[in-house]
Amino acid sequence: MTAPAQPAPGTAEDWLDALRFDDQGLIPAIAQDAQTGTVLMMAWMNAEAVRETVRTGRAVYFSRSRARLWRKGEESGHVQQVHDIRLDCDGDVLLLKITQVGGIACHTGRERCFYRGLDLSGARPAWVAQDPVLKDPESIYGHPHPHGH
């Protein structure tokens, strides 16, 4: 992971000030496999999650449903090792280039959260699962996992 440049005294978080958080103090973060380029998931981060991600080198998000920090892999063991963090041109989206430990990013037991594709071949468009379940979610979490991040 590229470390922020050494700031001058009194400006320790200038790098964080460049991020444009929304009115709830959140910024979307896209997790991308550093080796393959596959987009694995999108989640939200607040300033504390960004700081902890930078400090630890492991992805930490903010769970809107639980209203607390969510350390990716805290239940499943499928942590994300962060190699690089990029900020988009508007400063309002982060891209994390990561290694997904265990190869499963999605709570459904799939490699990625973007596993459904829009099938336009029938009479009506329909979302169809296109990626296999690699591991049953109950065997990962010990219980059915609630939907959402």
* Domain extent listing, the chain: 14-108
Tokens matching residue 2 = 């590229």
* Three-state secondary structure of 36-84: CCCEEEEEEECHHHHHHHHHHCECEEEECCCCEEEECCCCCCCCEEEEE
Q: Is 137 helix (H, G, I), strand (E, B) or coil?
A: helix
Tokens matching residue 21 = 């958080």
One digit per residue, pLDDT tens: the chain, 149 residues? Answer: 655 554 445 556 899 999 999 999 999 999 999 999 999 999 999 999 999 999 999 999 999 999 999 999 988 899 999 999 999 999 999 999 999 999 999 999 999 999 999 999 999 999 999 999 999 988 887 766 555 55
Q: Distance between CA 33 and CA 31 in Å, rounded? A: 7
Pick the CATH number of 14-108 from 1.10.3290.10, 3.10.20.810, 1.10.390.10, 3.40.50.10860: 3.10.20.810
Q: What is the pLDDT of residue 138?
A: 87
Query: What's CA 72's distance to the chain center, in Å?
Result: 8
